[in-house]
Amino acid sequence: MIRLILIIFVAATAFAQSQLAVVANTRKGQLNGTCSATATTCQVTNSSCTKDGYRASCDTVFAAGNVLMIENEAVYVCGVVLGSVTTVLQFGVSACQNADGRGYSGTIAAVHQASIVASVAPVIGGISILSFGACRCRVVHC
C-alpha cells in the first residue's frame, strides 16, 4: 500500500512539474528617480523598458496586478499611468484602495535609487512565484 501511494505521489509530482512552465524575468525598466520607502508611486523611464529583450512601451511591460522586484523588495502594482517621458507605477495605500503594495509577500519596503531596474517577478503556471509566499498551506492527513 505504501509503495502504491509513493508511486502515485512521484507520478503526480512529475506531471505537475511538466505542466508548470516558468516564464523568465524578461519585462523590466529603470527607475527615473529615487523611490522612498514610503512612496506610493514611482516612475520608470519609458526609453528603458524592455520586453523579451526588445524595447517596448512601458504600459505593455508593466500592468496592474504585476508583482515587481526592485532590488530585494517585492512590490504589488495596482495601476500604471503612461506618460510621454515616464510611466508612473502605483502601488501604495493612497494610490490603491485596500492594498499596500510596498513590501509585498514579506519583503521590506526600502529606498531605491534612480536607474535601479524594476522587473516583473517570474511566473509559474500563470501565478507570480511571490504569490506562493503569501499563502499558508497545511497538509491534512485522513
pLDDT tens for 82-119 read 999 999 998 866 666 656 688 888 889 999 999 999 99
Query: Is the full-model pTM beyond 0.85?
Result: no
> Residues 77, 82, 83, 84: what is their CA dihedral angle, to the nearest 10 degrees?
130
φ, ψ dihedrals at 42, nearest 5°? -140, 155
What letter would DSSP give residue 75?
E
